Structures are given as structure tokens and as C-alpha cells.
Chain A
Amino acid sequence: MEPDKKINIKGLVCPYTFVKAKLAIEDMEIGQVLEILLDYEEASRSIPKSMEDHGHKVLKVEKINDTDWIIQVRKEKD
């Protein structure tokens, strides 16, 4: 699925990984998809969980190489 917005938060650790992801999704419209590129393993688990806690839909969590993950989230509420 082609995302509406992509952010690269490689090099960031918790909680700034989620802070950046949350600020990005806040500025989007409901129904739009955010793609997050990250390299902090813990965040590959915590961001999907936090996004769901905030009411959004996690579409994909994928390890794309030795160091990086891609997460896609669809905005479900303001």
C-alpha cells in the first residue's frame, strides 16, 4: 500500500520514536496511511502497540533488512 506520508526516524530511541510518529500522524487526515522507517528494535514493538492504544490501525510491521523496520499505520481518529 502506498502511504500518504513517510517519516524516517532511524537513530532515534524511545520515547522520541513515538513522539515523532505521533506528531506526524496528528497532522494527517483520518483514513490516511503513515509509513515509519526505524532501526530501534524496541520501537518496532512499542510503536504499533501505542498507535493501537491511541485508536489507530496498524497495517504492517516488517523487518526489511538487518537493522531496519517499516511500520504502516492508518489514522482512525483525531
Chain B
Amino acid sequence: MIRLLGLGNEILADDAFGILVAHEVERLMPGEIEVVCSSAAGFDLLDELLGASHLLIVDTILTGAARPGTIHVFPTNPAHQAHGVGPHFLGLFEVLALGRELQLDVPREVVVIAVEASDCTSIGAAIQPEVRAAIPEAIDAIQQTIAKWRRTERPH
């Protein structure tokens, strides 16, 4: 099963991106894949990460190295993620690594699509136009990923 997990917070400016993309996917491709949204962090995401064979994650990122609205795609290598996690922090990948270690039902494939954001801490502020404008590009990346999975991986 393919699941799309939109991460973010609709009331925190650019952080709305993942949620908006998830809604758009539901509108454009109704019933095609499972769509889930969450504004939780770290370990609270565990339930959303289990039970799908293929997982697309849409989130925001602040690298400072690209202009806001730039789309980054990270095909994650599950084996690699088991190493080098920091000692005191549970992010998405640590939770995935932990799930794998404990033989929980973690996805076989994970692709992260993240938009470069500039403001994720102003409560009640609107998403910036250049970040919002990246929604179609994120949808493209999602559709390409799904098409590739369907060609090569045959998920249900």
C-alpha cells in the first residue's frame, strides 16, 4: 500500500505546505493512495509510519542553502538510516530506524519531498507565495514517484 504523509501545521506560515499538498493530492487523485496528515513530531509520528509498504512524506525544510520554494527530493536508503542517529533526538528517521529494529511494520520504501521554507514559527501567518507556488512541483514529484513504484515495485 502507498501512503502519503503530509507533515506540517496549517497555522504556522510555511509549515502549512505538507498539509496543503496532501489536500491537493486527495483532490487530484481521489482514492488512489492513502493520504494522512499530521502536525506531530518525533515519536508521535510512529503510528503514521507503520502499515504501508511505500511511504511518501511531504514536509518543509530549512537548509538556508536554497531559495524558498525549492523542492528537495530525498530517496532514503533504509539500511543507511540505521546508522549515525544522534544520541538525544528522535526525528522521523530515528523513529523509522527504531521501528525497523523492533521488527514493526515499517515501509520498504520511503521518499521525502520537502520544500525550502523561510518561516515556520509565525503563528497565524500565511504561507508565503513562493512556497505555495511550489505545490504543483511537489505534486509532480509525487506522481513520478508513484508511477515508478507501480512500474518496478508493484505495491498494492
Task: State yes or no: do A and B come from one complex.
Answer: no
Residues in B lying within 8 Å of A, measured CB to CB: none
